[in-house]
Structure 1
Amino acid sequence: MNAPALPEVVSGKFILGMPEEEYHSHPALSASGMKNLLRSPKHFRAARSLNKAKAEFDIGHAVHARVLGIGAPMVEIPASKLSADGGIRSNDAKAWVDAARAEGQVPLKPLVFAAVKRGSEAVLANPKARALLETPGYTEVSLFAEDEQTGVKLRGRIDRLADSLIDLKTTTDVRPQKLRAAVTDFHYDLSAAVYRELVRLVIGEDPGPMHLIFVEKEAPHEVRVVRLSHPDWVEGGSRKMRAAIDLYARCVEFGHWPGADDDEGPITELEPPAWYLPAVDRLETDL
């Protein structure tokens, strides 16, 4: 994973090697924050004030560290410290995990540790993924800039920036129909738009399309590389980004962070999905 000389910065900041905690504690608006905003400003505020359990992200962080060669190293929790059902319940086990985190490590149970190793090896063995990762570029790039229309401060952290944007994702299923759902459910199109805009603002260049390297969390750890270059993905992600930034600017201006249904408008009429009655028909037929 060779890295060329640092690019000339037009505006904002281009940072390599920024500590993860320092990046995530920065108050600038990120793609993750925009995703919460599009759910509701109330969710955005809650996510900023509440600390999520780190274990929720351990697998993804560990795969990133092993594949990209950067980030917190993973460490295997000794089986002897786990309870009979594999839980972290004893004071000794909790103390061991806390000490590992304090040293900047990602503690994983033995089965998860083995799965992360297999998944990482699967990514590096995939010819499409490896070709992308070996293209000269920059790893774990932190970008900071100011939105031109609103002045909102933005940030983004790209797994790999080469002649395109590259992001590594763990998932449960890499079949194309499942990945389409993942892109829409997790707003990866929005992330692509934010990263693309930040690269444009910071170094004045078009970074090319977003490539997503998906690897399954469980055996056989299949890998699929996809590209979000279709005009609909590009337009949709850009429109989501614009809506989220504008919403954030309004909330900051008025100091109001409402929930999705906090207004005095009509009660939502919840319509059934198209498959609902056909499913009932099949149920009656099977009785």
Structure 2
Amino acid sequence: MTDPAHIDQPGVYDLPAHVYHADPVVGGSLSSSGAQRLLPPFCPAKYKAWRAAGGEHRHVFDVGRAAHALVLGVGEPFEVIDADSYHTKAARAQRDEAYAEGRTPLLSHEHEQVQAMAAALRKVPLARALFRPGTGRPEQTLVWRDGETGVWRRAMLDWLPHSQSGKRLLITDYKTAASVEPAAISNALARYGYYQQASWYIDGATALDLHGGVEPAFIFVVQEKEPPYLVTVAQIDPESIEWGRRRNRKAMHIYRRCIETGVWPGYADDEVISVGLPRWSVYEHEAAYAAGEYDTEQDIA
């Protein structure tokens, strides 16, 4: 049996989140989050520092992490801090101890919030059906090797449905957000690289032949963090998936080159670059010029 902390074969693995994030693949592997950090607005040097620091952790993620655990029924346990804020030394000490022991700390009102979020989601028939117990497995790790670059890739799927012959595989991911209005979700795809995540996960399911020969679909179940905790279910369109795939391929080539050379460059290490105004600013100046706002013959009012 393969040691889950030393994976050297493609497959589907049931791993704790901390093992996944520590990268259990022999020789190292690239995740979707890592691929995004190799490309602008990040760079390989920032990716290397991010990996060395063990990823990013901020309190703002705790509510989403706890809601995720309640919706999926797996994940880090959470600990309720009997306080309204972390202004007191005692509350901060309890929070830090929870982090150190692998638990997600929640203030009292945050605990009530995530309980209400999970209850609200279960009232949405479509969202409830996508995460229905017995229809799939939560937090499954996919590990596969890219055929073109040889880079090992990994992904932790929120929900991997059981394969059904002739039926399309629906890879479902749960997100929390400030707004689930469709335009806000569209903006989040670009801002947070969710379209790259979707392409990455679809590629993993395809490489491991989990899709039954039918192109998988990627579904987001997005929920607001404020009452009434609205839920929107959204599928990413094929064009966005393809752009994500192109960016991911670029990231894998950069990753392979950095691994081979041991060099993780910044934005411009060996040259002086030319910079100018962003295009939106140039357009503003051009419009102002055309309107006569730069006419030196005008009197000052």
Amino acid at match of 1:244: A
Alignment of 1:20-31 (within 5 A): 20-26=17-23, 27-31=28-32
Q: How many residues align?
A: 264
2:86 and 2:92 in contact (8 A); partners too: no
Q: 1:161 to 1:278 in 2, by over 3 A?
A: farther
Higher helix share: 1
Question: By how many angstroms is 1:42 displaced?
Answer: 1.5
Percent identity between matched residues is 33
- Counterpart of 2:176 in 1: which secondary structure? strand
Asked which structure has the greater RCO (Cα within 8 Å, sep 6+), the reply is 1
Residue in structure 2 matching 1:225, options 224, 233, 256:
233
Alignment of 1:98-247 (within 5 A): 98-134=96-132, 136-162=135-161, 163-203=169-209, 205=211, 206=214, 208-228=216-236, 230-247=237-254
1:19 aligns with 2:25: no
1:68 and 1:139 in contact (8 A); partners too: yes
Question: By how many angstroms is 1:74 displaced?
Answer: 2.3
Amino acid at match of 1:132: L
Deviations 1:114-161 (A, max 9, x none): 221122222221122112112712211111111111111111000012
Question: By how many angstroms is 1:102 displaced?
Answer: 4.6
C-alpha separation between the residues in 2 aligned to 1:43 and 1:255?
14
- Counterpart of 1:221 in 2: which secondary structure? coil
1:55 aligns with 2:59: yes
2:35 and 2:252 in contact (8 A); partners too: yes
Question: By how many angstroms is 1:222 displaced?
Answer: 1.2
Structure 1 stretches of 5 or more lacking a match?
1-10
Structure 2 stretches of 5 or more lacking a match?
1-8, 162-168, 294-301
Larger Rg: 2
C-alpha separation between the residues in 1 aligned to 2:288 and 2:22?
49
- TM-score, normalization by structure 2: 0.80
C-alpha separation between the residues in 1 aligned to 2:75 and 2:287?
48
Question: By how many angstroms is 1:176 displaced?
Answer: 1.0
- Counterpart of 1:203 in 2: which secondary structure? coil
**RMSD of aligned alpha carbons:** 2.4
Amino acid at match of 1:126: V
C-alpha separation between the residues in 1 aligned to 2:270 and 2:238?
35
Residue in structure 1 matching 2:76, options 72, 77, 82:
72
Corresponding residue of 1:261: 268
- Counterpart of 1:180 in 2: which secondary structure? helix
- Counterpart of 1:76 in 2: which secondary structure? strand
C-alpha separation between the residues in 2 aligned to 1:204 and 1:77?
41
1:165 and 1:207 in contact (8 A); partners too: no
- TM-score, normalization by structure 1: 0.84
2:206 and 2:216 in contact (8 A); partners too: no
Question: By how many angstroms is 1:219 displaced?
Answer: 1.9
Question: By how many angstroms is 1:236 displaced?
Answer: 0.7
C-alpha separation between the residues in 2 aligned to 1:192 and 1:184?
12
Corresponding residue of 2:38: 37
